[in-house]
Amino acid sequence: MMRLLSKSLFVLILSAFLFAGNQTVEEGKLLIPLTEETITIDGELDQEWKNVTPVVLRTYEEGSDVVDSYDDHFSTFRTMYSEDFLYIFVTVVDDSLDSSTGNDWDRDNVELFLDGNNDKNDQATGYDDNDVQWRWIWNSDKDTSLTPGQGEYAFTTTDEGYNLEIAISADTLSAYAFELTDGETVGFEISNRDMDSQAVQNNIKWWNAGATAWNTPALFGTAKLTDREVKSTLDINEVEEAPEIDGVIEDDAGWLGIPAIGLTTIENGDLEDGILTSWEDHFSTFRAGFDEDALYIAVEVVDDSLDSSTGNDWDRDNIELFLDGNNDKNDQATGYDANDVQWRWIWNSDKDTSLTPGQGEYVFSETDNGYILEIAISADTLSNYALDLVDGETIGFEISNRDMDSQQVQINRKWWNEGATAWNTPALFGTAKLNGTITAIENEFGVPNTLELKQNFPNPFNPNTRIDFTLDKAARVSLEVFNVLGQRVAVLINGQLSAGANHAIFNGHDLPSGIYVYKLTTGSSSIAKKMMLIK
């Protein structure tokens, strides 16, 4: 069921939990961003990590118990690289840390699998010189029965479980034909095992449910190093086309390629034990983009109990956005000036009129997991706060998502700072920078000189994906989707098209997970490619 509540104001979208979706995966590859910053390996989620997409480990290894309790076991990972190191950060929620004796592979641990040349050897062939498995055991040295990495690592205990931060050196990786350069493609898998009371409970992974990754590189996923740079400043990228403000992001090409950022900073510090009944209780991410007309933000909220009861507006289920147009970071004594603004949107309610209203458009929509808030804030509105929608503009920025259950404030998730006084202290805001898109060089003849069908993006996908193709001349075209049995499940295009670039959006929400084939036919020519739907 979806219920729409729309108002005339600016664009923001709140978007639910994060599997490896279109913000992190392209053509079936996990995209690993670049950093030029020096990362301190201390097990703490530093500023740079906050702008790296957290990917939820929700693939249960064959034979594992499926855990619904958030406190029992829940984990995410983030990764980035520099010219010197591959960095991994794993955040683990675990209510019972177990470092007892027994098989090293059965204890609370994190495992990383790499295939330097990504040749995906099967089980019969096994590992070659370019494949490696590393294991880090909670409250223990790195497992010496496996090839050790030569970098640094640090475990830290948290109120919810533990963090593991790793830096693997370029020299170590080069021994496995893995070079830390833009465009490098490698086999990749990561897992997190939980042992409770000396009994193995489950192993949750990124990519494949198979239990033999330790001798089968074919079970690894694929990762690709990119030149997208991660900084302590949040990059807000220019959108190729404006998102439609309708509370639905599944089929909206405007959000494709815009990374989802986790709201993982908890106001006033760590979570109290038991405050989240399950991982579905509260989890949220946001997206941000812009064009010359508006600032767009997308946030999905997972929330198993939506509460719009009476009480203080700031304590109800809501989203708050804080902007500092000239980024002067006033302290609490100085407070807000004319360039600072706070907006609040309350679930199932009008925008809070006690705050300055935005002049754009917004829509709430209820989902099976919680809700979406989508907003577009106009350039005219933003100019009142010295914020111009131009490449290179730097602003103060913070966003939060509050959850109330049973008329009691439960948790406030934020992007940047755990302090509770952003409402009067712009110094607590983070910093964001607007980045214009790079225009591609056009074909000198104005139209493509070949018929081309591109790989869908994102891939794998859930549930929508975009299929791009180019025609060298005007023609009658069909674009169809088939399952592995050869049965046609969708006709996306069937008609006359002009020469040039074209695309279609495929939505697989009514289809089961699996491999599908999409086929482009024009005249006597046809091209087909595979894609993967993962739910």
Question: How far apart are alpha carbons 346 and 5 in whole angstroms?
Answer: 11
Burial of 492 per CB tally in 10 Å (0-12, 13-18, 19+): middle
> In this predicted structure, what is the pLDDT of residue 83?
95
Question: How far apart are alpha carbons 20 and 534 in whole angstroms?
Answer: 10
Neighbour tally for 454: CB within 10 Å: 16
Secondary element (H or E) of residue 174: helix 170-174
> In this predicted structure, what is the pLDDT of residue 195?
83
Secondary element (H or E) of residue 380: helix 379-383
Cis amide bond preceding 460, omega within 30: yes
Residue partners of 506: CB distance under 8 A and separation at least 6: 456, 464, 465, 466, 467, 481, 490, 492, 518
What does the pLDDT profile of the chain (535 residues) look like in tens digits?
333 443 333 333 333 333 333 345 555 678 898 998 889 999 998 888 988 888 878 788 887 666 656 567 888 899 999 999 999 999 998 878 876 667 888 888 999 999 999 999 888 889 999 999 999 988 776 555 565 555 689 999 887 889 999 999 999 999 999 999 998 999 999 999 988 765 667 888 988 888 888 899 999 989 999 887 887 788 898 888 899 998 887 668 888 777 778 787 877 766 565 555 555 567 788 999 999 999 999 888 887 777 666 667 777 888 999 999 999 998 888 889 999 999 988 877 665 545 555 556 888 888 877 888 899 999 999 999 999 999 999 999 999 988 876 556 578 888 888 888 888 999 999 999 998 853 332 333 334 456 889 888 888 888 888 898 888 777 888 899 998 888 889 888 887 777 777 888 888 888 888 889 999 998 778 898 989 898 7
CA nearest neighbour of 451 among 530, 504, 506, 527: 527
Task: Extract the tokens encoding 325.
Answer: 């147009």
- Domains of the chain (ranges, CATH numbers): 30-229 (2.60.40.1190), 234-435 (2.60.40.1190), 452-533 (2.60.40.1930)
3-class SS of residue 412: strand
Residue 38, CB half-sphere, CA atoms under 13 Å: how many? 1
Question: How far apart are alpha carbons 180 and 183 in whole angstroms?
Answer: 9
Contact 136, 142 (CB under 8 A): yes
- Output the CA torsion sign for 118, 122, 124, 127: positive
Residue partners of 483: CB distance under 8 A and separation at least 6: 489, 511, 514, 516, 517
Strands 234-238 and 430-435: parallel
What pTM, to 2 d.p., does this model score?
0.63
> In this predicted structure, what is the pLDDT of residue 151?
66
> In this predicted structure, what is the pLDDT of residue 148?
55
Q: Please, what is the end-to-end C-alpha distance for the chain in angstroms?
A: 18
Neighbour tally for 329: CB within 10 Å: 15
